[in-house]
Structure 1
């Protein structure tokens, strides 16, 4: 059948599981956007800028498994680079589509707007080579091959891809013989993995698993839990990838973050004689400045296309195959390991004294529900929230590796659009909010109902703790945060102001009583107050920079 290239691309993206597409219109994508709007099963979610669109697509993909966004050539696609780079770093599959000038304009090297005025049109595509797992220039001759290749690459590698789509190509009809269906590589069992890990475990007296973000990326939670239950090996998570393991499982030790970890977790992991690193990257922020006490060269690295044990290194084994191979291992651990305490702290004094971070997160532990999606902005919010004990069906979204402040507010738009039945809760600080707050407007326009907690502590707390506590570059202008929903047209948004524990408790009650609306909560705290782990890790960052 005949169909336009743009129609085929949107059909293919939808068949891969995407129902909403983010982005910003521009003259090089407008005619293509008509095909998006006309598609009966795909919704266009216009964003306030391209950076926010890239963050929203990232949040959507973390929930849905794949996302897509559309920008215009040059000014649009480059505005999205930061978000796409974050998706690449943390293995989030986003299809970044650039509506480009016509092939005739490119061939004639015309000095058109949004170009560099040099007659070159591949400059921006070259930039994307380093932050995407695959790139493609779509033509009428290659569309049937290139579009499936790019979508499959995003799915199988769990990383972004870049699609350069000249607008005349998008509007040209081609012959399509069959609809695109994604091709997911089948996972097998790798005998080398089975033999080497079996041998390692057979001689271990205190084995442990460290896990992280790649389990979330590849949705391998059930397989990982099967392996843990079968072998009786305890497991610790990194903050990069929290939510990778069921925290209600009896084998769960807690968060391992180097020298600042809970003593029993730190001691057990550091003293282990067989550490299996499954789908995790031990970064500076996840390990308090690489403060682990084990020999990193002795750790068995079982990551996507990165298998390392002793002198054996392989880059051809994917993570699903690694998990399948682990399930084939016949081993049972008999060593004792510490149990995590899941008892909630019910002894919180509800006073009218100024609210502090410690009390704030203790109360949040009581507030989160069984099925909530929790987003925590890099800063006081992330370092306070990643120690929250989650329920099996919770989802946790943060960005501790890339660490771009302002990420989570637009990401909240994406995560909530991906599943509007689950309650989404955002923890964010005032400094981060000011970077991307415009996307609150899109949330209101899309009539979604997340819960947003904004810590107003007057500035960049993480930066103050690292360097320049009283320097003006860490100051921000005070806003009337409670007025923002009204500014953006949110007439049905619940507005709350919190200054102490009594206020917070009352706010929780109001939110639960009015679950059918968005809630925006301004939480006032002292400028110098911060979670203890953030204080410790900030000092590590300060020392790294000397």
Structure 2
């Protein structure tokens, strides 16, 4: 028989397992050690210790992008504040991460004692208040409220796809409470019938009357895992479809109706004209930010827009606050009048961008040629991570193979995010090939997590662009200023230093043929592959060069 009681800590872990969490990231500290014992004792749940709490938060973010939800544990004060930047990024980009803080015992907090990891003022609520700004729900657990509060915040995390904060005092973790009687209900957004029918009637009328309709889809579709419903609508409609770079890969980029990535005035001319000249724009899961729209240079006429978001929609500048994207995609697919693809004059992205086979030369690597060469290396189902710098703007113009996943952080844009995120994505699905492209400046911020990747015997391909400093900043301001310089490292030797089990291989490439040889070798290795590529410090992708000028003007003093 199953026990009718369990500890508070076990209750939380059982609920996390129900939601699909198989690994928990974090760093030990004396206020969470008892809870870590419970994690270690729990079947089918693995502790992944990180080098620091910021990296743990980044890893959890990456894990959530592949797994659908993630969890991390830190200690009170010093640990949780180290993690808060990563949690803020998950909040901004809508990733469901459960942040658990092991805190001093209840009687210690109630007494106001000046214990370590506090501000020495007897107030134990400071950090909880800080997390209220970057989480959708918060709680401090007690013996009396634990079951109800755990369920509540986890349901909020699932519904809104944003982080939640759970404060778990060290003495509460082992208190006995009633065990769960039934699985946790995972809520979804539902539509109010009247609003749904009214919106649907207006939308179908606008769509079916349009001569040049287009679909612009983005990351919110990914967060709510509605990609198949989007694909069904695209297939049924026959409309051309584009994405923004935050949702790159939201639909198969080899799809014959996919025309490319829209970036405002910096877009490919064909993509820009198809989007901005359309007489009906179905904006599905889109958030218009500066780095996605060429510095707000998009031209999307509100009178032509139909906006669809996970829990609301807009048409004719009227908001319907109780209609769900899931319902709307299904009903629009049923009601749309299909267009003949052959008469839509669609120029597929994959045919425009991959017309010629890449032939490597002895010439030094350049940004323009590097991305084309890397694109030819990608396979189906790859996970491609791109650091928010030269890497992101280079990869955003690549064609993703079928069923591949693209991961970047263009809204929050926290430098160094992707290396720890790689740990999370690869842990979430070790059977998929993970490829990270990261700059030298970003790498130096979170390089320690290479140690954790090696410790867990993961086998990603890491491509480090050594272009001598903060090149994305050079593209905006101060191309030759000292503040954009960094200390040069012998990057290719780091895996050997951190690898005690010969689980890695490193290479350096300065020209196209050397890079081709490195990629060929990487394809045959059953270990982590680290490729350092060297490029000229002021060479940047064309899109970054253009956006850097926009940002420079925007930031002018």
Normalised-by-shorter TM-score class: over 0.9
Q: Distance in 1 between matches of 2:182 and 2:45?
A: 16
Cα displacement (A) at 1:186: 6.6
* Residue in 1 that maps onto 2:181: 178
Q: Is the 8 A contact 1:460 1:475 kept in 2?
A: yes
| Structure 1, unpaired ranges of 5+ | none
* Residue in 2 that maps onto 1:111: 114
* Residue in 1 that maps onto 2:290: 284
What do you get for the CA RMSD once the two structures are aligned? 1.6
**Which one of 11, 14, 30 corresponds to residue 14 of structure 2?**
11
Q: Is the 8 A contact 1:425 1:450 kept in 2?
A: yes
Cα displacement (A) at 1:295: 2.4
Does structure 1 residue 199 correspond to structure 2 residue 205? yes
* Residue in 2 that maps onto 1:503: 514
* Residue in 2 that maps onto 1:20: 23
Cα displacement (A) at 1:108: 1.3
3-state SS of 2:294 partner: coil
Q: Map of 1:203-282 to 2, 5 A cutoff?
A: 203-282=209-288
* Residue in 2 that maps onto 1:369: 379
Q: Distance in 1 between matches of 2:84 and 2:92?
A: 12
Using a 3 Å threshold, how does the CA distance of structure 1 residues 250 and 160 change in structure 2: closer, same or farther?
Answer: same
Q: Map of 1:322-333 to 2, 5 A cutoff?
A: 322-333=328-339
Which deviates the most, 277-286 or 343-352?
Answer: 343-352
Q: Distance in 1 between matches of 2:182 and 2:51?
A: 33
3-state SS of 1:3 partner: strand
Q: Is the 8 A contact 1:151 1:182 kept in 2?
A: no
Q: Is the 8 A contact 2:254 2:349 kept in 1?
A: no
Cα displacement (A) at 1:177: 4.7
Q: Is the 8 A contact 1:71 1:77 kept in 2?
A: yes
Q: Is the 8 A contact 1:268 1:337 kept in 2?
A: no
How many aligned residue pairs are there?
545
3-state SS of 1:519 partner: strand
Q: Is the 8 A contact 1:12 1:179 kept in 2?
A: no
* Residue in 2 that maps onto 1:92: 95
* Residue in 1 that maps onto 2:546: 536
TM-score (norm 1): 0.97
* Residue in 1 that maps onto 2:402: 392
| Structure 2, unpaired ranges of 5+ | none
**Which one of 456, 460, 480 corresponds to residue 446 of structure 1?**
456
Q: Distance in 1 between matches of 2:246 and 2:397?
A: 12
Q: Is the 8 A contact 2:253 2:349 kept in 1?
A: no
3-state SS of 2:523 partner: helix
Q: Distance in 1 between matches of 2:229 and 2:166?
A: 33
Does structure 1 residue 412 correspond to structure 2 residue 422? yes
**Which one of 469, 477, 485 corresponds to residue 475 of structure 1?**
485
Q: Distance in 1 between matches of 2:499 and 2:78?
A: 28
Cα displacement (A) at 1:349: 4.4
Cα displacement (A) at 1:327: 2.9
Cα displacement (A) at 1:442: 0.3
User: Which 4+ stretches in 1 moved above 6 angstroms?
Assistant: none
Q: Is the 8 A contact 2:208 2:336 kept in 1?
A: no
* Residue in 2 that maps onto 1:53: 56
Does structure 1 residue 494 correspond to structure 2 residue 505? yes
Q: Distance in 2 between matches of 1:328 and 1:168?
A: 55
3-state SS of 1:258 partner: coil
Q: Is the 8 A contact 1:265 1:338 kept in 2?
A: no
Cα displacement (A) at 1:32: 0.6
3-state SS of 1:523 partner: strand
3-state SS of 1:513 partner: coil
Using a 3 Å threshold, how does the CA distance of structure 1 residues 347 and 331 change in structure 2: closer, same or farther?
Answer: closer
Q: Distance in 2 between matches of 1:347 and 1:389?
A: 13
Q: Deviations over 1:26-69 (max 9, x none)?
A: 11100011000011110000000000000000000000000000
Which deviates the most, 522-531 or 119-128?
Answer: 119-128
3-state SS of 1:105 partner: helix
Q: Distance in 2 between matches of 1:404 and 1:314?
A: 34
Q: Distance in 2 between matches of 1:135 and 1:325?
A: 36
Q: Distance in 2 between matches of 1:297 and 1:53?
A: 44
Q: Distance in 2 between matches of 1:437 and 1:133?
A: 30
* Residue in 1 that maps onto 2:441: 431
Q: Is the 8 A contact 1:457 1:524 kept in 2?
A: yes
Q: Is the 8 A contact 1:458 1:527 kept in 2?
A: yes
3-state SS of 1:322 partner: helix
Q: Deviations over 1:455-484 (max 9, x none)?
A: 000000110010111111100000000111
* Residue in 2 that maps onto 1:66: 69
Q: Is the 8 A contact 1:194 1:328 kept in 2?
A: no
Q: Distance in 2 between matches of 1:212 and 1:187?
A: 21
Q: Deviations over 1:184-208 (max 9, x none)?
A: 3275572133112112213312111
3-state SS of 2:265 partner: helix
Using a 3 Å threshold, how does the CA distance of structure 1 residues 48 and 182 change in structure 2: closer, same or farther?
Answer: farther
* Residue in 1 that maps onto 2:348: 340
Q: Deviations over 1:284-309 (max 9, x none)?
A: 11110111233246422211334222
TM-score (norm 2): 0.95
3-state SS of 2:339 partner: coil
Q: Is the 8 A contact 1:58 1:67 kept in 2?
A: yes
Q: Map of 1:27-38 to 2, 5 A cutoff?
A: 27-38=30-41
Q: Is the 8 A contact 1:148 1:180 kept in 2?
A: no
Q: Distance in 1 between matches of 2:534 and 2:189?
A: 51
Q: Is the 8 A contact 1:16 1:182 kept in 2?
A: no
Q: Distance in 2 between matches of 1:302 and 1:198?
A: 13
